[in-house]
Amino acid sequence: TADVVPQAPEDPLFGLMTAFRKDESANKVDLGIGAYRDDNAKPWILPVVQKADDLIRKDPNLNHEYLPITGLAEFREASQKLVLGGDSPAVKEKRAHTLQAVSGTGALHLGALFLAKFYKPNTKRTVYLSDPTWPNHFQIFNNVGLPYKSYPYFSKKTKALDFDGYIDTLQNADEGSIVVLHACAHNPTGVDPTQGQWKKIADVIRAKKHFPFFDTAYQGFASGDLTRDAWAIRYFVEQGFELCIAQSYAKNFGLYGERAGCFHFVAAPSSDAESTATRVASQLAILQRSEISNPPAYGARIASLILNTPELFAQWEEDLRTMSGRIIEMRKALRRKLEELGTPGTWNHITDQIGMFSFTGLTEQQVLKLREDSHIYMTKNGRISMAGLNTKNVGYVAKAFDKAVRD
């Protein structure tokens, strides 16, 4: 291997984090990494997570034994209900199967591996990813040998969804392609289809017999409303699709490093749907065993206690509103300040977009200039993590954007 392994480039996002840490300026602002920060730019442990953690630590029966291959049962069940809804037909008809996974990334990987092995194995299959998308999607599907293509998503001109391009591409894709869909708070653009648009997307996916694979990393974090943020997934399930879901608890519980998440497979309704789900479950268990043996316990215990205890669940919803509310306030503040400064261009997209990120429309050159001149860090595509803004730095950031746009 000594001479055949080429040097790989550094992960751009983690590289950005390192550069930020090294910057000694007192004014530096991190708008790169997608992790929530409070108004003092500090990581925030959700009060409900702290409470659940304290309760778990006090439990005299707590130990460090292995979880089962499929993970913590009460966590899997609660996660299924959270994403599909308590009265989901798929849950009632026992045609949904859930495995605990290594957060959203691990769930995506498990799903990708499963599809690579069992989805139309002897045919040419393509995975369709939105353009742009969370860059890790490319490597996750590529690593299991599934080729990918893009469907248009974002119009640079309107700074909104390129709906016609999106539909047209799915319509012209080979029948039975896999389509990766961001359930809400699209990363990196912050632009989601409307419910009417989702219905049309579902129509094309059905007509072309495509396979929907939902990625849900922001349920409750996006709008502060868990039901609203799950609408697209539940609509597809109601429509009777066979589909997969990768569910992350990194953002909505602030459990980033604990790697809590789930992978769900939902069989289409039919007389043998339950047996399909059982067979799929048996294969997923083998894949899980060979990949990670069994999933990490601690984060799942915390999430599970909250999901399964009504008072804690209610407090969690409060905490979600605190996070999403602060982010929405920062969207308003940034837009207002740019408009007050008369910064060239339009800035309504900042408040129109939803979730952790805003796609500012800043060019790569402006992004690099902001880093050099103002110590403001963001990804080269002009994406900013809204959580990096706070009442103390939003004025500074707006002035720096204004200067970068005018220069």
* Catalytic residue annotation: 134, 215, 251
Spatial separation of the C-alpha atoms in residues 35 and 68, rounded to whole Å: 30
Residue 13 contacts residue 221 (beta carbons within 8 Å): no
> Which residue has the closest beta carbon to ligand PMP?
104
Name the DSSP class of 208.
Answer: T
Residues 6+ apart with CB under 8 A from 117: 283, 287
Dist. CA 216–CA 184, nearest whole Å: 7
CA distance 281 to 278: 5
Stretch 113-152: interaction string toward ligand PMP, x if CB under 6 A = ---------------------x------------------
Determine which residue in the list 30, 162, 215, 258 makes contact with ligand PMP, applying CB under 6 A: 215
Compute the least distance from the CB of residue 138 to ligand PMP, in Å. 12
State the Cα–Cα distance between residues 286 and 117, nearest whole angstrom. 12
- Is 267 or 356 the residue whose CB approaches ligand PMP more closely? 356
> Which residues, other chains included, contact 5 with Cβ-Cβ below 8 Å and sequence gap of 6+?
none
Paired residues of 384 in beta bridges: 358
CB of 62: closest distance to ligand PMP in angstroms? Answer: 24
The distance of closest approach from Cβ of residue 7 to ligand PMP in the complex, given in angstroms and rounded to an integer, is 25
Report the residue number, 113 or 250, with the smaller CB distance to ligand PMP: 250
3 phi and psi angles, rounded to 5 deg: -105, 5
Amino acid at 170: L
Q: To the nearest whole angstrom, how small is the minimum distance from the Cβ of residue 216 to ligand PMP?
A: 8
- 249 Rama sector, left if φ>0, alpha if ψ -120 to 50, beta otherwise: alpha
Q: Select 108 or 338, whichever has its Cβ closest to ligand PMP.
A: 108
Q: Which of 32, 71, 104, 220 binds ligand PMP (CB under 6 A)?
A: 104
Report which secondary-structure segment, H or E, holds 131: strand 127-131
Residue span binding ligand PMP (CB under 6 A) among the ranges 97-105, 141-149, 164-172, 394-402: 97-105
> Least distance in Å: CB of 386 to ligand PMP?
13
What residues contact 342, with CB distance under 8 A and at least 6 apart? none
**What letter would DSSP give residue 257?**
G
Among 28, 109, 159, 182, binds ligand PMP (CB under 6 A): 182
110 touches ligand PMP (CB under 6 A): no
The contact mask relative to ligand PMP for 183-202 (x = CB under 6 A, - = no) is ----x---------------
| Interaction between residue 34 and ligand PMP (CB under 6 A) | yes
**E strand or H helix that includes residue 99:** strand 96-102
Question: Does position 105 bind ligand PMP by CB under 6 A?
Answer: yes
The residues in 235-274 that bind ligand PMP, with binding defined as CB under 6 A, are 248, 250, 261
Contact residues toward ligand PMP (CB under 6 A) are 34, 103-105, 134, 182, 187, 215, 217, 248, 250, 261
